[in-house]
Chain A
Amino acid sequence: KNEVEQSPQNLTAQEGEFITINCSYSVGISALHWLQQHPGGGIVSLFMLSSGKKKHGRLIATINIQEKHSSLHITASHPRDSAVYICAVKPGDSNYQLIWGAGTKLIIKP
């Protein structure tokens, strides 16, 4: 069993829909990182959070430490949101390592 699991693996939605991507992990963590990888390959950090909720524009990330679960939400989705969304966790006993999820490939159709 992978230590970080993302669901769904693939998601296709229509423009304007509310999107939820989930990340579950099995280890104790000090922080969780959401990143976006564009179709061209570039990787951008979206959020790093250790509790509660963070919001940036149309993106919202939440984390429940007790349930070992995080969600990334996109409101009013747009075709430019099409990308791979990656969850990575920082184990509590590591000061450098991230354990990476496999990614969720999101396609937003106009």
Chain B
Amino acid sequence: NAGVTQTPKFRILKIGQSMTLQCTQDMNHNYMYWYRQDPGMGLKLIYYSVGAGITDKGEVPNGYNVSRSTTEDFPLRLELAAPSQTSVYFCASSLEGYEQYFGPGTRLTVT
């Protein structure tokens, strides 16, 4: 099993550009999550999903959108990138909300 994979690993965006961060898991987990981690800070939940077709907002959803059309994939869309979105983004998955397994992260810089 590859576990949770994320692409890209690194990205630099200009202000106002858009992009999609990809996340895929092969563990047949129903729960998936997107977090951001700012330098020196803890994780903050952006969006989560409890199954295909079901998504909901976390603590810091503004400026982001998600979709969950399959169990495996949970892409995160950034529209109109802003410098405040410079962060490391982690995708995670879990079975029924228990132990979370994390992807390697995407380091995003918006300049």
Residues of A within 8 A of B (CB): 31, 33, 35, 41-45, 48, 86, 90, 94-98, 100-103
Question: What does DSSP make chain B's interface, helix, strand, loop or mixed?
Answer: strand
B contact residues, total (Cβ < 8 Å): 20
- Minimum distance in angstroms from A47 CB to a CB of chain B: 8
- Minimum distance in angstroms from B4 CB to a CB of chain A: 10
Whether the Cβ atoms of A31 and B102 lie closer than 8 Å is no
Residues in B whose Cβ lies below 8 Å from that of A42: 102, 104-105
Known: A41-B107, A95-B96. 14 other contacts (CB 8 A): A31-B98, A35-B102, A41-B104, A43-B92, A45-B99, A45-B100, A45-B101, A95-B97, A96-B31, A96-B48, A96-B50, A98-B100, A101-B42, A102-B42
The yes or no answer to B88 lying at the interface (CB within 8 A) is: yes
Residue of B nearest to A96 (CB): B97
The yes or no answer to B34 lying at the interface (CB within 8 A) is: no
